[in-house]
Amino acid sequence: MATPMNCRESCAVFSVSSNLDEVDVSPVIFGGLLALQHRGQESTGITVLKNGKIQTFKGLGLAIEVFNHNILKSLSAPIGIGHVRYSTYGSSDIINAQPMEFESKLKFALCFNGTIVNYEELRVELEHDGYVFKTTSDSEVIGFLISKALKRSLNLTDAIIYGMEKLRGAYSVLLLAEDGSIVVFRDMYGFRPLCVGYLKDLEAYVFSSETSGLDAVDATFIEDIPPGSINVLKDSEITRLKVYSSKHAHCMFEWVYFSRQDSTVEGVNVFSVRWKLGEKLAELNPVEADYVVPVPETSRIAALGFSSKSGIPVMEGFGVNRYALRTFIMPRDRGYFARLKLNPLKQVLEGKRIILIDDSIVRGTTSKAIVSMLRKAGVKEIHLKITCPPLIAPCYMGVDFPTSEELIAYGKSVEDIRKLIGVDSLTYMTIDYLVEAIGLPKDELCLACLTGEYPEWIKPFLGKKRAIRK
Ligand code: SF4
């Protein structure tokens, strides 16, 4: 179950650029990062352009822990970018925190959300060219590619085009250059979200991974950044260059799990998708029960949708320890984490038949732990309903799904999985219903982890899934 630790995504980006020299955007960036904290809790950083110089402050932990009043004051400037980061395999070092600065003909800093699939190949190539890597992060590959092109006297936009030609994977990038421009570019498929808004009071453009980031700082949404485009913000004007046109492949998991329920991704409201998924689940394999119980937090909306359709009341089933949400102090045993995080409400659940709603099952370890806790609490029947169809293949586009063999649904029937998890019945969302609930054309969505059908360009890298090392 995708309670907090089963599948994680890497990172969120946020920037503010004001037209007014006297404006200090650092508290606004901080506010945006707080709003996007759900996308990464390992480290955070802000880079500003202060008196014509790039200046960065980064630290391990949550934005609220890394920044304080004095640090933000030291970053007082009218232009800046920020980042929150999640990584998966032992790379929560400060050296991998973002934004990262790059010395070149034009000094710049960048941060991104996504994963570069051909990282290893590009790193070898760049090392051959004399670039010395200080980190194990994809960001350094992107930065060095741009530096390399700048060295050949290309301008910044052409240098980014050079980088985009080389990069394979998912990337939504914010770059702050010493000449005062913010350059925003996104891979041609648009796997990860990225949008732009305007903050009237500060005369500032705001780029954010999610619309909830714009709302948090009172910026008005303008549009989603078109996939395959480079957007240069300079002197309060955005110039756009569409570099690539392709069928989009927006990650279905943004609506199922990653994005906040108050965000709208590619024009589709996350709350309404989760509600519809709950309603659809109520139509599939109906069973009698006393309560609909969501696994906190993501599944609450789906549970409400399920309840409204089925007439079965929603009930809180768990006490939640919100402070167990700390990735870098986490043991790898997800069952242990589930017990640390959730405690069934015995007084509510004892002797009851429940519909347990969750967003996904990845390895199944957390699911088993939760079901075992519920059984101990005396729950009579557990009917597990999952808003995401079975995950059968790894993600190469920035999401921490394990290898196929580690995925509980790989090569197994629903009945096999039901027995392994130990529930009375198990129902998954269907792919067709999921697509219908999102409402975008099926061929504009990435469904690769559900179907095992990957884009052509990824095929040379299949089976070479590496640790996501941001
Ligand atoms: S493979 Fe799955 S998780 Fe990864 S981008 Fe595609 S839909 Fe999202």
What are the residue ranges spanned by the domains of the chain?
A: 12-249, 268-454
pLDDT at residue 91 tops 70: no
Please work out whether the CB of residue 449 comes within 6 Å of at least one atom of ligand 1.
Answer: yes
pLDDT top residue among 91 and 456: 456
Local structure of residue 359 (DSSP, 8 states):
S
**CA separation (Å) from 462 to 63, 122, 394, 395?**
35, 17, 9, 10
pLDDT band per the 50, 70, 90 thresholds, residue 325: low
pLDDT of the residue at 87 = 67
User: How much is the average pLDDT of 33-56?
Assistant: 96
- Pocket probe for ligand 1: among 39, 255, 397, the residue whose CB has the most ligand atoms within 8 Å is 397
Q: Which of 47-51, 84-88, 402-406, 421-425 has the lowest mean pLDDT?
A: 84-88
| Range with the poorest average pLDDT among 28-37, 72-81, 114-123 | 114-123
What is the rounded average pLDDT of the residues 7-29?
89
Q: How far is the CA of 382 from the centre of ligand 1 (A)?
A: 29
pLDDT at 10: 66
What pLDDT, on a 0 to 100 scale, did the predictor assign at position 321? 85
pLDDT at res. 323? 75
Query: What is the token pair recorded at 36?
Result: 């996007």
Residue 43 in contact with residue 97, Cβ under 8 Å?
Answer: yes
- Cα(447) to centroid(ligand 1), Å: 6
On the question of pLDDT at 326 being above 60, the answer is no
Q: Is 11 a catalytic residue?
A: yes
Angle between helices 365-376 and 334-341 (to 10 degrees): 40
Q: Please tell me the predicted confidence (pLDDT) of residue 441.
A: 97
pLDDT score of 88 more than 60: no
pLDDT for the residue numbered 15? 98
At residue 467, the pLDDT reads: 45
Average confidence (pLDDT) over 328-349: 75
* pLDDT value of residue 328: 40
Distances (CA, A) of 453 to 57, 170, 393, 446: 41, 16, 9, 9
- Mean pLDDT across the stretch 63-68? 97
pLDDT of residue 32: 98
Confidence bin at 329 (pLDDT 50/70/90): very low
Task: Return the ligand 1 atom nearest residue 393 CA.
Answer: 1
Q: What is the pLDDT of residues 288-314, one digit of tens each?
A: 999 999 999 889 999 999 999 999 999
Confidence category of residue 371, pLDDT binned at 50, 70, 90:
very high
pLDDT for 338: 79
Return the structure tokens found at 223: 């549009």
d(CA 104, CA 177): 10
Q: What element of type H or E holds 358? A: strand 353-358
Taking the mean position of all CA atoms in its chain, how far away is CA 159? Answer: 27
**Model confidence at 90, in pLDDT bands (50, 70, 90)?**
very low
Running DSSP on this structure, what letter comes out for residue 323?
A: G
Q: Could you tell me if the CB of 257 is within 6 A of ligand 1?
A: no
Confidence at residue 398, expressed as pLDDT on a 0 to 100 scale: 80
Q: State residue 6's pLDDT score.
A: 42
pLDDT category of residue 258 using cuts at 50, 70 and 90? very high
| Centre of ligand 1 from the C-alpha of residue 251, in Å | 5
Pocket residue to mutate for ligand 1, from 10, 447, 451, most atoms within 8 A of Cβ: 447
Question: pLDDT band at residue 461, thresholds of 50, 70 and 90?
Answer: confident
- Structure tokens of 17? 């650029």
**Residue of 11, 251, 388, 449 with catalytic role:** 11
Q: How confident is the model at residue 331 (pLDDT cuts 50, 70, 90)?
A: very low
273 has a pLDDT exceeding 80: yes
384-406 confidence digits (pLDDT tens):
999 999 999 999 888 877 789 99
Model confidence at 327: pLDDT above 60: no
Q: How much distance in Å is there from the Cα of 101 to the middle of ligand 1? A: 29
| Residues facing residue 206 across a β-bridge | 16, 197
User: For atom 4 of ligand 1, which residue has the closest CA?
Assistant: 395
**Residue 224 CA: distances (Å) to CA of 8, 186, 197, 227, 258:** 23, 11, 9, 9, 17
Q: How far is the CA of 456 from the centre of ligand 1 (A)?
A: 15
* Whether residue 272 has pLDDT greater than 90: yes
Listed residue (76, 42, 39) closest to 59, CA to CA: 42
Take atom 2 of ligand 1 and give the residue whose Cα is closest: 449
Q: What is the pLDDT of residue 463?
A: 73
Answer whether residue 5 shows pLDDT above 50: no
pLDDT tier for residue 460 given thresholds of 50, 70 and 90: confident
What's the CA gap between 194 and 41, in Å, rounded? 19
CATH number of 268-454: 3.40.50.2020
Q: Is the CB of 393 under 6 A from ligand 1?
A: no
189-212: pLDDT as tens digits: 999 999 999 999 999 999 999 999
Find the 131 Cα to ligand 1 centroid distance in Å: 31
Q: Is the pLDDT of residue 333 over 80?
A: no
pLDDT tens digits, residue range 414-435? Answer: 999 999 999 999 999 999 999 9
Neighbours of 392 (CB within 10 A): 18
**Atom 8, ligand 1: residue with shortest CA distance:** 251
Structural fold of domain 12-249: Glutamine Phosphoribosylpyrophosphate, subunit 1, domain 1 (3.60.20)
Q: Which atom of ligand 1 is nearest to the CA of 448?
A: 1
